[in-house]
Amino acid sequence: MGDTVTVHGQLTGAVVHGAGRGRGLGFPTANVAADPDSRVPPSAIYSGWVVRHSTGAVHRGTISIGSNPTFCDTADVHVEVYCHDTSDEFYGERVGLWFVARIRDTVKFASPDDLVRAARQDVLRSEALLASDRGRRVLTDALAAYERTFSA
């Protein structure tokens, strides 16, 4: 496994409908329409925390930012997160994505099976990163920011 790179910051947005392909792959993702004032990190796969603004619930996630080159020929950048610990769908909800680390480049895979194999490894790597000291620190920051923003 290559070195991971630390990534800072939060991206906020609303969960919207994607192409609906993820469920069939076994990796259903929440597609996030990034707020205009959110900085979208460069295309890559990342580990990060998902904060649901309606409830403050936090999920462990693996985030894909990119044009999904395995399936799409367009340059449109999608922000998607696979939550490891819930099968909830949260269409319409607002979320914050708190990036912990960059895992790898986005790849144009030869087949969906190859993508699924890579995604399984990504999730394992992401779990380790979220549980690391840095992952815990980012979670603390995310919870503190939530308290500041949403508590009276």
Ligand X SMILES: Cc1cc2nc3c(=O)[nH]c(=O)nc-3n(C[C@H](O)[C@H](O)[C@H](O)COP(=O)(O)O)c2cc1C
Binding site for ligand X (CB under 6 A): 18-22, 27, 29, 31, 45, 62, 64, 68-71, 80, 82, 106-107, 109, 115, 119, 122
Nearer to ligand X, 51 or 63 (CB): 63
Longest dimension (CA), the chain: 51
Nearer to ligand X, 1 or 152 (CB): 1
Contacts of 94 by beta carbon, 8 Å cutoff, 6+ apart: 12, 13, 14, 15, 52, 53, 54
Nearer to ligand X, 37 or 73 (CB): 73
CB of 67 to ligand X, least distance (A): 7
Nearer to ligand X, 51 or 119 (CB): 119
Rounded CA separation 39/85 (Å): 26
CB of 79 to ligand X, least distance (A): 10
Rounded CA separation 91/66 (Å): 20
Nearer to ligand X, 12 or 67 (CB): 67
CB of 11 to ligand X, least distance (A): 16
Structure token digits, residue 128: 């380790």
- Among 68, 75, 77, CA closest to 27: 68
CB of 80 to ligand X, least distance (A): 5
Count of other CB atoms within 10 angstroms of residue 66: 21
CB of 25 to ligand X, least distance (A): 6
